[in-house]
Amino acid sequence: MMDASETLKIIGGIAGIVALIWRLLDTFKSYLQIDLEISKEAGSTRLQLKTGVENKNHIGKNIRAAFLLIGPQSEPPEQIVKKLGGRNRNLAREFFTLSEVVSTIAKVIRSDHNIDASGIYDREGRALIPLPHYYEENRDIGDERLTYTIMIDSTNFPIGVYGVRFYVEPRWMRYYRVVQDAFEILPAEPKRT
């Protein structure tokens, strides 16, 4: 029969193994942290969209796709993508889940060489802008923070409120990440004489 000290050693060993397994699972399942910040200097027509991706873990994560989706704030993402689809039949269709929207866009921006880094725009204030900085210029983001800033001309957008969604789809897991910010295009002020 075991005495109390041996029993405590066995329980401590089991607890240590469970803690190690838990930590390993936590390490592999941790998500990338992403952010988006929109700013505009007074008197400028250009919007600055600053994106960031951070991996707080030591194990590197590879990004499959990263992009901005812009559209009227009241419009759902799948509707924005469908209306932007134009000649690309992969985008101009019905989507049933947001995961399907993100994975379809990821495939299109990685394979359609007609979509350049400036993106796809329409005249009603919708845009799909690939961010190849995250998935072509960087490999295995590990314990670091990456940022990327783009400028867009706000005169290309009609008057209204627009949502900007920043999507990141990691290569190692099918759980995409998204954050959103917004901007408003106001009517031009009449010039004083």
53/62: higher pLDDT: 53
Domain shared by 11 and 88, yes or no: no
Please give the distance of CA 34 from its chain centroid, rounded to a whole number: 7
Domain shared by 85 and 164, yes or no: yes
Residue 191 belongs to a domain = no
Domain that holds residue 137: 31-185
**Residue 69, pLDDT score:** 96
Residue 70 belongs to a domain = yes
For position 54, which CATH number holds?
A: 2.60.40.10
Domain shared by 173 and 156, yes or no: yes
**Residue 131, pLDDT score:** 93
CA-based nearest residue to 106, from 67, 71, 49, 149: 67
**Token code pair at residue 95:** 């989507």
Quick check: 188 pLDDT over 80?
A: no
Instruction: Give the global pTM.
Output: 0.80
Residue 97's φ and ψ, nearest 5 degrees, are: -140, 160
pLDDT bracket for residue 146 (50, 70, 90): very high
Compute the distance between CA of residue 119 and CA of residue 41 in angstroms, rounded to an integer: 23
Residue 114 belongs to a domain = yes
Residue 46 belongs to a domain = yes
Return the minimum-mean-pLDDT range out of 15-29, 47-61, 126-140. 15-29
Domain shared by 15 and 63, yes or no: no
pLDDT bracket for residue 183 (50, 70, 90): very high
Please give the distance of CA 16 from its chain centroid, rounded to a whole number: 37
Domain shared by 99 and 17, yes or no: no
Domain shared by 84 and 153, yes or no: yes
Domain shared by 159 and 68, yes or no: yes
Domain shared by 65 and 11, yes or no: no
Alpha helix ranges (H) inside 32-147: 77-84, 98-111, 132-135
Domain shared by 25 and 79, yes or no: no
